[in-house]
Chains A and B, each alone.
Chain A
Amino acid sequence: MENIKLKIARIEKGYSQQDLADHVGATRQTIGLIEKGKYNPSLNLCIRIAQTLDKTLNDLFWYEDKE
């Protein structure tokens, strides 16, 4: 599932995928794949991303079940 929340938070912060990748010690491809929902990052990477974007884990990675 595509991670729109992460993409929006990144753009709001004015970061490109490469900028975010540099900040969290990942590659641009990894950030791209996380945003597309094709890679599940480790909790450590999630925390680094959330801290870099000044968000909580819930803000970026939590989705309510749609019933």
Chain B
Amino acid sequence: MDERNKQIAYKVISIMYFLTILAMQGIVLYRQFIMGQNYNDFEDIAILMTVNSVFLISALLYFGAIPIQKLKIKSILLIYLLFVVLGSLFTYARYNIFQSPGLSVGQLIDKLIIIVSIIGMLMGFWIVLSVLGQKRAEKELE
């Protein structure tokens, strides 16, 4: 196996990985909206996809696939806000659009607090990984 074979293999594996994730998302949507299954019935797939995405982003950050020269507070806050908004919209849609009766405002605020905390922890984890990744890269240069 030479470098070209390896490149092709990596490309195929990446595409297959992406298609698998896409298929899993399709399965979740199909089960939820076509088969009308309860969330508990496909919770395992949803958790697997979430964990997978978190590890994927973590690995990309640590191994330097995402080019971060300098961690800027403004960018970090923007990404954090984006995740919070997306997470809130997703949660609102899940409980108050696709389920009835939906959650009350108080319950939604409780969910928002959970979202804000979890995303905060995730961002902290990713920042630590980015710093460690940068240190690893600099160590390789020495």
| A contacts, CB < 8 Å to B | 21, 25-27, 29-30, 33, 39, 41-42, 44-45
B3-33 CB contacts (< 8 Å) to partner A = 3-5
For chain B, the bracket of interface size reads under 10
New A-B contacts (10) at CB < 8 Å, excluding given A29-B4, A41-B4, A45-B2: A21-B2, A25-B2, A26-B2, A26-B4, A27-B5, A30-B2, A30-B5, A39-B4, A42-B3, A45-B3
B2 touches A33 (CB 8 A): no
Closest Cβ of chain B: how far from A17's Cβ, in Å? 13
Query: With a CB–CB cut-off of 8 A, which chain B residues contact A33?
Result: 4
Query: With a CB–CB cut-off of 8 A, which chain A residues contact B5?
Result: 27, 30
Closest B residue to A42 by CB, please name it: B3
CA distance A44 to B2 in the complex (A): 12
B90-117 CB contacts (< 8 Å) to partner A = none
Query: With a CB–CB cut-off of 8 A, which chain A residues contact B3?
Result: 26, 30, 41-42, 44-45
Query: With a CB–CB cut-off of 8 A, which chain B residues contact A21?
Result: 2
CA distance A30 to B1 in the complex (A): 10
Query: With a CB–CB cut-off of 8 A, which chain B residues contact A41?
Result: 3-4
Query: With a CB–CB cut-off of 8 A, which chain A residues contact B4?
Result: 26-27, 29-30, 33, 39, 41
